[in-house]
Amino acid sequence: MRIAFLEVDKEEFNFFKKNLRNHKLFFFNKPLNEKTLAKIKEVECLVVFVHSQISREILEKLPNLRYILTMSMGYDHIDIDYCKQKNIIVSNVPTYSENSVAEHTFSLILALSRKLYQSIERTHHENSFETDDSLMGFDLNGKTLGVIGCGSIGKNVVKIAKGFGMKVLVVDKCRIPRMANGMGFEYSNLDRLLKNSDIISLHVPYTNKTHHLIDKNAINKMKKGVYLINTARGAVVDTVALVYGLKSGKIAGVGLDVLEEEKNIIEERELIKKEISNDTNLRVLLLGHQLMKMNNVIITPHNAFNSAESQKNLLKISIKTIKSFLKGKPINTV
């Protein structure tokens, strides 16, 4: 089969070559454009990333196309409706970094609960080893963690929380009582979770329904002194409301790996592609942000996904997905 790969680097080239030896492969390290399109008009399979816009016009120029894999969770860069009309199967990579993000979530929780940032500042910058009440933290054991969204990442967060001896409340649109019993958490509605959680961690996708899920109204329902963690998507939290919650004392601390201003950054994978990422623009946004000036806020640069294991998983799942289609048994279809 003729397979074209867009937006892949040299190392990824070699991986796919090794695993697809009996097929004719075309490689391009840039997004799809008119020049590359002219070279792949006969391909039957297309592997892309989020910067390759697969519109109706593009699809009409690929008459032999039978399959598209996007190496991302998101697939709004592909005209799915027209693909269905043309009987073109589309797959994505729905998850590949669930362990990495869950572990990073607890890195943020522990940094806040044990005041690691302040401790490091004192020893590294003030050359002081004095311990006083300003560095007093709190134990996670016995505290209640509210997990909003219990998909693959949320489940791993629950597992880690139970290891710390935490009580866990979960809000999720899909309830599986057997899983709750087996993992030792309790399903809740959102209001109850907001009211009773000592720490709240967000693990929902960004949709119209989750836009500003955590707004001023939600914050007012929270327990005073709550901690909020967001490793999901920035716009799930209303930034203006978040600053209000911090300044009012309702929220004691925040750990963020994503920001609402990140709307111009589409997917995690592009953050480690030097030719795509633009750290300068993001840094300008961060430097002017009120949150950066607060000592009870920890912000990491959308790095929760970024482990060696998760990047290997992305390639493994991608090749498995391609091979499943080649065997006539497509998976991860959208």
Task: Note if 192 is an active site residue.
Answer: no
Same domain, 181 and 259: yes
Q: What is the pLDDT of residues 191-243, one digit of tens each?
A: 999 999 999 999 998 888 999 999 999 999 999 999 999 999 888 998 889 99
Same domain, 106 and 166: yes
Closest of 14, 13, 55 to residue 34, by C-alpha: 55
Q: What is the pLDDT of residues 238-250, one digit of tens each?
A: 888 999 999 999 9
Residue 334 domain-assigned (yes or no): no
Position of tokens 């490689």?
Answer: 27
Alpha-carbon gap, residue 61 to 65, rounded angstroms: 9
Task: Kindly state the percentage of the chain with pLDDT values over 90.
Answer: 69
Same domain, 10 and 61: yes
Alpha-carbon gap, residue 183 to 156, rounded angstroms: 10
Same domain, 20 and 147: no
Task: Kindly state the percentage of the chain with pLDDT values over 70.
Answer: 91
Q: Is 146 within 8 Å of 199 (Cβ atoms)?
A: yes
Which residue among the candidates 203, 233, 260, 269 is catalytic per the annotation?
A: 233
Alpha-carbon gap, residue 56 to 81, rounded angstroms: 9
CATH number, domain containing residue 215: 3.40.50.720
Mean predicted confidence (pLDDT) in 279-292: 58
Question: Looking at the 3D structure of the chain, how many domains does it have?
Answer: 2
Task: Note if 262 is an active site residue.
Answer: yes
120, two tokens:
């490091």
Same domain, 63 and 80: yes
Q: Which of 76-90, 91-105, 286-300 has the lowest mean pLDDT?
A: 286-300
| Model confidence at 7: pLDDT above 80 | yes
Q: Give the number of other CB atoms < 10 A from CB of residue 58.
A: 19
Residue 39 domain-assigned (yes or no): yes
The secondary structure of 62-74 as a DSSP string is -TT--EEEESSS-
Task: Note if 302 is an active site residue.
Answer: yes
| Structural domain range at position 129 | 98-304
- pTM (2 d.p.): 0.79
Alpha-carbon gap, residue 69 to 32, rounded angstroms: 14
Residue 333 domain-assigned (yes or no): no
Q: Give the number of other CB atoms < 10 A from CB of residue 30.
A: 14
Closest of 55, 92, 71 to residue 270, by C-alpha: 71
Closest of 51, 63, 15, 86 to residue 320, by C-alpha: 15
257, two tokens:
């790996």
Closest of 110, 105, 194, 204 to residue 158, by C-alpha: 105
- Which band of pLDDT confidence, cut at 50, 70 and 90, is reported for residue 26? very high
Which residue among the candidates 7, 12, 262, 268 is catalytic per the annotation?
A: 262
